[in-house]
Structure 1
Amino acid sequence: MAVAIERDELSAGELRAAARRSKDVAQARRLLALALVLEGASRTEAAAAAGMDRQTLRDWVHRYNEEGLEGLSDRQRPGRPSRLSEEQKAELAELVEEGPDVAVTGMVRWRCVDLQGEIKVRFGVDLSERQVERVLKQLDFTRLSVRPRHPKADEAAQEAFKKVFPALVKAALPAEAQDKPLEIWFQDEARIGQKGTLTRIWAKRGSRPRARRDTRYEWAYLFGAVCPERGVGAALVLPQVNAEAMNLHLEEIGRSIAPDAHAALVIDGAGWHSPTAIRPPNNVTLIYLPPYAPELNPVENVWEFLRANNLALRIYETYDAIVDACCTAWNSLIATPARLTSITQRKWATAS
């Protein structure tokens, strides 16, 4: 016996409209079947048009009567319960984040097979490597390339620098700049040359893609500075990196600052950045980063972006070719201020 469609809040036309809006193909088919029934089609015809049999259509009518539109979507199956408790997963996540103790394990990184053994010893649960990988993905872990960290880096000093940055800038500004509009700039240098860099590319799983890489030693130095808030930058490509070159770059930065504004320029403690060796223009005040803290300089991310998208996997025959490539790469990024800002903006790098 056919089950009547008891709900009357939606007409056949409104059910069809709901089917058009639905992103769930299965739900859309069921909505169309119900619409056909309301329009007078037989249950057999409606079921056939929606790719189901009469009994299945009858079941969906029951669900619609009880739950409305939501009842026409497939319920997510609970699946097999996890063999690790939430507490065990939390402990596993902490273990992965800390990494292995080389002195104890003899390993410098965790592999799934290593964690498989740790899980067996710690929790008495025997998982396959694939199951371990699945658990790691559930815990929001994935395989990433690590960033280098200097052994003398002081993370506490870096956090303190970020917290006191506005006060540090205010204290460093000369009296004549206190009432001027203030811009925050960051500066760094990158060596670009024939012995270039490689980058990631799309390739077939299991393959080992090859790319050309030069072995010669001609270099140029790209001096770059950015103002994230304005989405602008200033750069020079020079044959050497020294105090004289840095002074030329400081002059270029000074010309790029907005009229009547003053800039706090954040730089690292490289030897050619010594206060006794460089002469910033009158509209620039230098702010020095803590030692061994490239993580705090967003220009490092600019170099990473340019190498990955413009400067890697290339062969440069001459020094002039290197200079041209650097100029083209820098100008292409500066031509997209929104992208430059997204790469370099930091919440802590404000004057207030």
Structure 2
Amino acid sequence: MAEERTRFAVARPLRLMFQDEARFGRISDVRHCWQKKPHRPVVKAMVTQQYVYAYGAISPADGRFDSLILPQVNGKCMQLFLDEVARRYPDENIVMVLDGAGWHKSPFQLADNLRLILLPPYAPELNPQEHVWDELREKYFHNRAFDSLEALEAHLEQGLAQLENQPGKMQSLTGWEWIINSIYK
């Protein structure tokens, strides 16, 4: 992180963020559930191939989580997300860690306060943003089916907003010791 600090033209506080995308669709995520005897649980299931994508970036040091819902995963949508995150932190320099998705290697026009670092290939376990997606799917999407793409998007927006408003919870999910140590060295 000390080396990354020197790459910014203007000295500002440094924010380390981890970014990832997740697909959410009208296909239900069926999980085990309980029901009192003698009843059996009934879970609505559907197979429909309609999706939206959540872009998210977590700052493990303070639990700040930023997200956008976009229609696709590609360089153009990624550029929109990067621009939005840079805009939200105008007084900070941001080092954003990404996995090796193909669109992450697009020729982005980065804001002056944003730099990108790629994780090693095939290492999702190094990205704490994956835990945010797990939390979202577990708490907001299991055993749910949506009547429309608009209903799915509204539910996703609500879930993301709730996570964005819980920095303490996000910090406890993602504030891994090796990450925190890399920030404060």
Q: What TM-score does the superposition give when structure 1 sets the normalisation length?
A: 0.48
Residue aligned with 1:282, SS: coil
Q: Higher helix fraction: Structure 1 or Structure 2?
A: 1
State the structure with bigger RCO (CA 8 A, min sep 6), 1 or 2.
2
Match of 1:327 among 154, 157, 179: 157
For residue 215 of structure 1, report the CA deviation from its aligned partner.
0.8
Give the equivalent residue in structure 2 for 1:251: 83
Which sections of structure 1, spanning at least 5 residues, go unmatched? 1-165
CA–CA distance in structure 1, aligned partners of residues 51 and 158 of structure 2: 16
Provide the rounded CA distance (Å) in 2 between the counterparts of 1:172 and 1:292: 27
- Conserved? CA contact 1:243–1:272, under 8 Å: yes
What's the counterpart of residue 241 of structure 1? 73
What is the CA deviation profile of residues 69-100 of structure 1, one whole-angstrom value per residue up to 9, with x for unaligned ones? xxxxxxxxxxxxxxxxxxxxxxxxxxxxxxxx
Following the alignment from structure 2 to structure 1, what is the Cα–Cα distance between the partners of residues 40 and 110? 48
Q: 2:16 maps to what in 1?
A: 184
Helix, strand or coil: the match of 1:348?
helix
Structure 2 residue 28 is the aligned partner of structure 1 residue 174? no
Is 1:304 the counterpart of 2:146 in the alignment?
Answer: no
Of 108, 127, 130, the match for 1:278: 108
Q: Deviation digits for residues 251-291 of structure 1, max 9, x if unmatched? A: 1111222x4210110101101100x4322221111011000
Task: Deviation per CA, 1:208-255: give whole Å up to 9, x if none.
Answer: 855222111111001111112222222111111100000000011112
Query: How many angstroms apart in 2 are the aligned matches of 1:263 and 1:306?
Result: 24
Runs of 4+ in 1 over 4 A off after TM superposition: 207-210
The 1:321–1:176 alpha-carbon spacing in structure 2 relative to 1, beyond 3 Å, is same
C-alpha distance in structure 2 between counterparts of 1:318 and 1:173, whole Å: 48
Q: Secondary structure at the match of 1:317?
A: coil
Give the C-alpha shift of residue 318 in structure 1.
Answer: 1.6
Residue 28 of structure 2 corresponds to: 196
Contact 1:298 1:344 in 2 (8 A): yes
Describe the SS at the equivalent of 2:9: helix
Amino acid paired to 2:67: A
Give the structure with the larger strand fraction.
2
| Rg larger for | 1
Aligned partner of 2:95 in structure 1 is 264
Q: CA deviation at 1:304?
A: 0.6
Distance 1:190 1:249 in 2: 13
| 1:217 match | 49
Counterpart Cα distance in 2 of 1:201 and 1:256? 39
RMSD: 2.2
Matched pairs, number: 181
One-letter code aligned to 1:176? A
Within 1, Cα distance between the matches of 2:131 and 2:169? 12
Identity %: 35
Q: CA deviation at 1:175?
A: 4.3
C-alpha change, 1:296 and 1:173, in structure 2 (3 Å) is farther
- The answer as to whether partners of 1:172 and 1:287 remain within 8 angstroms in 2 is no
Tell me the distance in 1 between the aligned counterparts of 2:101 and 2:5. Answer: 19
Instruction: Verify the 8 A CA contact 1:173 1:285 in the aligned structure 2.
Output: no
Measured in 2, the distance between the counterparts of 1:311 and 1:173 equals 42
Q: Secondary structure at the match of 2:57?
A: strand
Q: Residue deviations 1:277-319, cap 9 Å, x none?
A: 3222211110110000100111111111111110221111222
Query: Closer, same or farther in 2 for the Cα pair 1:172/1:292, shift >3 Å?
Result: farther
Deviation at 1:204, TM superposition (A): 6.7
1:13-57 deviations in Å (ceiling 9; x for gaps): xxxxxxxxxxxxxxxxxxxxxxxxxxxxxxxxxxxxxxxxxxxxx
Q: How far apart are the structure 2 equivalents of 1:280 and 1:292?
A: 25
Contact 1:172 1:285 in 2 (8 A): no
Distance 1:182 1:172 in 2: 7
Amino acid at match of 2:9: E
Contact 1:267 1:287 in 2 (8 A): yes
**Unmatched 5+ stretches in structure 2:** none
